[in-house]
A and B are shown apart, each in its own frame.
Chain A
Amino acid sequence: MQISAEQLANLYRLAPEIILCATGILIMVLDPFVGPARQRALGYFALAGTIAALFTIRLAAIDPGLAYSGLIRADAFSVFVHVVVIGAAAIAILGSYEYLDDEGLQRGEYYALVLFATAGMGILAGANELVTAFIGLEMSSISTYILAGFRRRALESNEASLKYFLLGSFATAFFLYGIAMTYGATGTTRIDAIQAAFQITPPAGLAILGLGLMFVGLGFKVVAAPFQIYAPDVYQGSPTPVTALLASAPKVATFAVMVRIFYVAFGTSSDLWFWAVWVSAVLTMCIGNFAALVQTNVKRMLAYSSIAHAGYILVAFAAATDLGVAAILFYLASYALMKIGAFLVLSHLGQQGEKRLEIQDYGGLGSKQPVLAACFALFLLSLLGLPATGGFLGKFFAFQAALDSRVVWLVVIAAINSVIGAYYYLRVIVAMYFWEPSKDYVPTPVAASLATALAVCAVGTLYLGILPGRVLSLARAAADSLTVR
């Protein structure tokens, strides 16, 4: 069989998704043949799949371009997002082993679903066409709906799954409707073609309606206010490693597709969406932070904190410049690391049945499990935005980009918000280090797999905080690759 150069390019530009899906399908096939006691082996296989996918991204990086007649666009931007998304999935898988063992949920399909979701997010990141983006969104959404309900016997997990599914379906429907409107206005669903069309006639009527509808659909996925209502319940109810994945990777991929649609396709008229993003950013930050202030359940608090962080990312989005896109990408990378890290720590501390998630359960953790507590403190301080952590530089570049576009008041609001946020992150640290140890807590040793995952997150957070130069230049190159054509 002869494979033309173009077909070959198609294949390797989509290689990560192909590998992820193939591994996922293989796991589903192997699942019945592997005994219940050995299901964990499938997890290792899944991890190997993600790592293989990570390596194949290199191929797209070496030879960027379009694939499958322009449906997929492999450029530096998509490569960057792929690395973050697949990396996040790999860390989440690594961090899941212990939790699934403890909960008696060790099953192949868990890993298969994670892989399918990741593949969907990969497609989102590389989509150059709206229907393809929709397919990616659905792939990742449907898999995560199931994952959210993976603790079948727990009521809150069922609630999370159902709520996520119902509201998520609505959101994707909005997105689809928006695509239809945009198609009606421009006669095409290809992002570059839409951009070209708008350069001739600026968007009006139908196209603006389409833009608004897509904002609703995507805003839901990135947990931007006023579409954030579902997030606390879903994040709290889902199994904690799933929450780690849910709070990071889909957000990364959806922000990527938002950049492609808003900044690239509708980029000629960023005034159209500037105020929508501005208002949404303010609402998102304020709702997230103020609601987090009063939480006593740490998992729920971190759920609200991810809402707040979506707001900070929207601040960079409002900049509507390449600098802003680079800031978004850097933020997403550091955000994924610290958020996954924080939730994985919780997945261990929650112990069997996720019983120990209240703040008073963590009293004196600093003296009982110093290393774990130090990791948790690092992630919290990074979420807070302390210098020398990735979280600080994420905020720093986001603010810098927004100020560069003269979006001053939004930055001031974001800055004040980040101090409000400091209060609830510090509260957990207060509990861990300043309180007397709680008597009934019996620490359990951290499994090697989880420890590795946490170490990767911690080192990554510090690396991005102290030596961000390399990642920053990659992010800038990624942002450049969007518009240089």
Chain B
Amino acid sequence: MQPHLLTVLTFLPLLGVPALLFLRSEDHTWIKRIALAVSLAEFVISLFLIRGFVTANPGYQFEEIHPWIGSAIRYHMGVDGISLFLVILTTFLVPISILASWQGIHEKVKGFFIALLVIETAMIGVFVSLDLFLFFVFWELTLIPMYFLIGIWGHDRRIYAAVKFILYTMFGSILMLVAILWLYNVSGSVQFASTFDFPELQARLHAGVMHLPPNTEMLLFCAFFLAFAIKVPLFPLHTWLPDAHTEAPTAGSVILAGVMLKLGTYGILRFCLPLFPDAAHRAAPVIAVLAIIGIVYGALVATVQTDLKRLVAYTSVSHLGYVVLGIFAFSTISIQGAIYQMLNHGVSTGALFLGVGMLYDRRHTFEIKQFGGLATPMPVLMAFFLFACLSSLALPLLNGFVGEFLILIGVFERHHAWASWAASGAVLSAIYLLWAYQRVALGEVTVEKNKTLPDASTRERVILVTMALVILFMGVASPLFTRRMEPATNVLLEQMTGRAQNANRPAPPATSAERTSVPAGAATFKTEAARVRP
């Protein structure tokens, strides 16, 4: 299985779809069981990635390359330290979301779980694709199942939210498509044929075989960055997010916050920085300011929300601001922090949304006013909710602290001002989360109905305990993660500074030069180049 591990991982959830299709629509129990089984199997298989992953190797591992369309588009997959844990985050959160939807979904149950499995395939595909075309295919495919998840199983304003979500993201990605094609066209030269292959492009840019004029580079960077920034979402492109999050069903919110937002930050890290380092450096001040505005603005807006789910949604704007800031500080520590924060945000915000979803299952409302003193009727649920809040506001020993701390250290080394502004977000997050917790859980039970609410069921306890353990584990065992991220991060930064500072110096041997596929591929491309390009 080892050589095809990534293919298996990507398409295994899709194999669950026909299995579900053959079940009767009314057979809810088995639909859920099979969906859960598939996603758990997926999770177990994804753990083999960690087992086989060579920590010291900064390049891509578990690579698969097959020709696909013509000679320029290849089925090329691989993971490195940046994408490894994002894949595992995905495979971890999907079974959790399936378990969380065990009771809440009553209509079109089959379609719901099919959508979840399809979206898992698409998301993993995004993280492991190393061919720009393949990447774009998966990138766009994530939209449709999420669109249905929000539109069919969402709350009151679901249709508005679904359409807003999909149009926003499509607008960003279509310009990225144009940029991908442009990059393809300029990647060719007399010796080399044009290619969509990402490591190949990286190697060519690094070796100076392929050169982008500054203005072109800036335009391409903007086109890529816009697509990713909408997804993140970076202020002021975030307006789709509160709607989508609030209207989505619990599982949809968990997936959306937990993984789909990371597609944006991952894209920035994977593609924007290595492909367009000079433009990234030039744009960094603007982007950092936007990220800081996002951190503070997201936090302030979250504070004044009266809707609990919307509040959690706005925390994403704030937390993802940290990630973007960390990336654009261009230091090893801050970028590692950013990657770590992506994972943290997935787990912590996921846990918050799960808690909010459990409240909704009981009361069918997100209004904070409708709650109050809930710790009395449901001590266990509220204890875990507090735990998730603390993790999200970065309490030391919990996961959020590690990420935020690394980011702030890294940023502080570069720009004191950025770091001090960003640090204010940490204070604000304590305010809005603890205040929200206080209004929901502490004090007297204000609404009569709430007095008799049942505490967490066994299923819910399983979910909450799992999340809490992961939060704790990531808080105390962070070196296990950062150790594996470090080589890839270092190479990324080396390449960036190498090109930004010495555009004319003979390039050091590219990391991709040892890739056996490149010379062979380049040779076959030559003839193709002569044929295709007039």
**Could you list which residues of chain A lie within 8 angstroms of chain B, going by C-beta atoms?**
321-323, 367, 381, 386-388, 392-393, 396, 399-400, 403-404, 408, 411-412, 415-416, 418-419, 422-423, 426, 430, 433-434, 468-469, 472-473, 476
Measured in the bound complex, the distance between the Cα atoms of B534 and A217 in whole Å is 30
Are A323's CB and B532's CB within 8 A? yes
Q: A472 contacts B185, CB within 8 Å?
A: no
- Segment 173-198 of B: residues with Cβ below 8 Å from A: 174-175, 177-178, 181-182, 184-185
CB contact between A322 and one of B159, B178, B534 (< 8 Å): that residue: B534
* Chain B neighbourhood of A321, CB < 8 A: 534
**Can you name the residue of chain B whose Cβ is closest to the Cβ of A386?**
B140
Determine if A469 and B185 form an interchain contact, defined as CB atoms under 8 angstroms apart.
Answer: no
Contact B167–A419 (Cβ < 8 Å): yes
The answer, among A399, A422, A469, for a CB contact under 8 Å with B166, is A422
Interface centre among A388, A393, A400 (most CB of B within 10 A): A400
| Contact yes or no, B163 A411, CB < 8 A | no
Query: Which residues on the B side are within 8 Å of A412 (C-beta)?
Result: 175, 178
**Interface membership of chain B positions 100-144, coded 1 if the CB is closer than 8 angstroms to chain A and 0 otherwise:** 000000001000000000000000000000000000111011001
Whether B185 and A415, one on each chain, are in contact in the complex, defined by CB atoms closer than 8 angstroms, is no
The digit string for B143-158, where 1 denotes a CB below 8 A from any CB of A, is 0100110011000001
With A403-B178, A472-B70 as contacts: A430 and B159 at CB distance below 8 Å: yes
The CA-CA distance from A434 to B108 in the complex, in Å, is 11
Of A323, A415, A422, A469, the residue contacting B178 (CB under 8 A) is A415
Q: How many A-B residue pairs have CB under 8 A?
A: 80
Which applies to chain A's interface (DSSP): helix, strand, loop or mixed? helix
The 5 closest A-B pairs by CB, nearest first: A387-B137, A415-B174, A434-B151, A387-B140, A419-B171
Which of B159, B174, B184 meets A434, CB within 8 Å? B159
Q: Which of these, B137, B138, B158, B170, contacts A419 with CB under 8 Å?
A: B170
The complex places the Cα of A419 from the Cα of B532 at a distance, in Å, of 29
Instruction: Output the least CB separation between A75 and chain B (Å).
Output: 18
Interface status of B51 (Cβ within 8 A of chain A): no
Q: With an 8 A cutoff between CB atoms, is B162 at the interface? A: yes
Which residues on the A side are within 8 Å of B138 (C-beta)?
Answer: 387
* B69→A468 contact, CB < 8 A: yes
Given A422-B170, A469-B70, verify A403-B151 contact (CB < 8 Å).
no
Q: In this complex, what residue of A is CB-closest to B533?
A: A404
B68 close to A (CB within 8 Å): yes
With A388-B137, A416-B174, A418-B174 as given contacts, are A430 and B167 in contact (CB-CB < 8 Å)? no
Contact A381/B185 with A323-B534, A403-B178 known, Cβ cut-off 8 Å: no
Asked whether A433 lies within 8 Å of B184 as measured between CB atoms, the reply is no
Quick one: closest A residue to B138, CB to CB?
A387
Residues of A with C-beta under 8 A to B167: 419, 422-423, 426
**Residues of the B chain whose Cβ atoms lie less than 8 Å from the Cβ of A408:** 182
Q: Is the CB of B148 within 8 A of A433?
A: yes
Is A396 a contact of B532 with CB atoms below 8 Å?
Answer: no
CB pair B144–A400 under 8 Å, yes or no, is: no
Closest residue to B148 on the A side, CB-wise?
A433
Is there an interface contact between A404 and B185, defined as CB atoms closer than 8 Å?
yes
A403 touches B148 (CB 8 A): no
Residues of B with C-beta under 8 A to A399 = 177-178, 181
B70 to chain A: which residues have CB within 8 Å? 469, 472-473
**Highest count of chain A CB atoms <10 Å: which of B147, B167, B178:** B178
A415–B534 contact, CB under 8 A? no
B141 touches A388 (CB 8 A): yes
Which chain A residues lie closer than 8 Å to B177 at the CB level?
396, 399, 415
Q: How long is the Cα–Cα vector from A433 to B112 in the complex, in angstroms?
A: 12
- Tell me, rounded to whole Å, the shortest Cβ–Cβ distance linking A422 to chain B: 5
A433→B174 CA distance, assembly (Å): 25
Q: How far is the CA of A396 from the CA of B182 in the complex (A)?
A: 12
On whether the beta carbons of B136 and A430 are closer than 8 Å, the reply is: no
